[in-house]
């Protein structure tokens, strides 16, 4: 991929009418961005015709201002923009016959959840038939989703006889 991508989180407020959300999100693809997650928030104290949405997206460096302008044109009110990571990120290490056990499938089991994805992969394969080691960085929307993603990895690792090394959870 060319050019650096920046990750941005936004809290948007818009009219809760049919088609409004899709219209509001269209500018993101117009600027070459990629939506990672959309979280609806129905806050009870808001009146019924306002929709609050939290989104996390990646977009090419320098495109944020253009996106903000386009969103305003759509009548979307931007409550907050943060470049800070809203996502949970965890790194795991897997050891074993990673290629022979279909690494793309292992990754896809996370990516296909919709709430988590493997965003980085580093691998080391010493020799054919020897066990390889890999480092996977996983992003998820929330702590709960990260737990769910790790649970999937645990299950897959067991099935494929891979050694999964999880990070020590930060002390709560």
Work out the number of other CB atoms within 10 angstroms of the CB of residue 156. 19
| Residue 21 · residue 40 · CB < 8 Å | no
| Residue 137 · residue 89 · CB < 8 Å | yes
Region of 151 on the Ramachandran plot (φ > 0 left; ψ -120 to 50 alpha; else beta): alpha
CB 119 to another protein: min, Å: 14
Q: Name the nearest CA neighbour of 25 among 16, 34, 17.
A: 34
CB 82 to another protein: min, Å: 24
CB 66 to another protein: min, Å: 34
C-alpha span between 86 and 66 (Å, rounded): 22
CB 124 to another protein: min, Å: 4
Nearer to another protein, 30 or 169 (CB): 169
- Please measure the distance between the N-terminal and C-terminal CA atoms of the chain and give it in whole angstroms: 37
Nearer to another protein, 32 or 96 (CB): 96
Nearer to another protein, 30 or 166 (CB): 166
C-alpha span between 86 and 55 (Å, rounded): 9
Nearer to another protein, 38 or 152 (CB): 152
Nearer to another protein, 99 or 165 (CB): 165
Q: Name the nearest CA neighbour of 118 among 156, 90, 86, 84.
A: 90
CB 166 to another protein: min, Å: 6
Residue ranges in contact with another protein by CB under 8 A: 91-93, 95-96, 122, 124, 126, 131-135, 163, 165-168, 171-172
């Amino acid at each position: 991929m060319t050019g650096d991508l920046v990750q941005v989180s936004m809290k948007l407020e818009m009219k809760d009418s049919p088609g409004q959300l899709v219209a509001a999100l269209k500018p993101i693809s117009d600027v070459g961005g990629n939506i990672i997650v959309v979280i609806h928030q129905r806050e009870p104290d808001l009146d019924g015709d306002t929709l609050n949405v939290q989104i996390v997206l990646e977009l090419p460096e320098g495109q944020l201002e253009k996106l903000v302008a386009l969103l305003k044109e759509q009548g979307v009110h931007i409550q907050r923009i943060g470049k800070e990571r809203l996502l949970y990120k965890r790194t795991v290490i897997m050891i074993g016959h990673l290629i022979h056990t279909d690494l793309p499938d292992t990754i896809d089991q996370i990516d296909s959840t919709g709430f988590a994805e493997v965003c980085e992969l580093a691998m080391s394969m010493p020799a054919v038939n020897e066990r390889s080691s890999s480092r996977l960085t996983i992003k998820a929307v929330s702590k709960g989703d990260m737990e769910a993603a790790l649970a999937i990895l645990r299950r897959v690792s067991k099935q494929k006889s891979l050694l999964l090394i999880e990070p020590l959870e930060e002390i709560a």
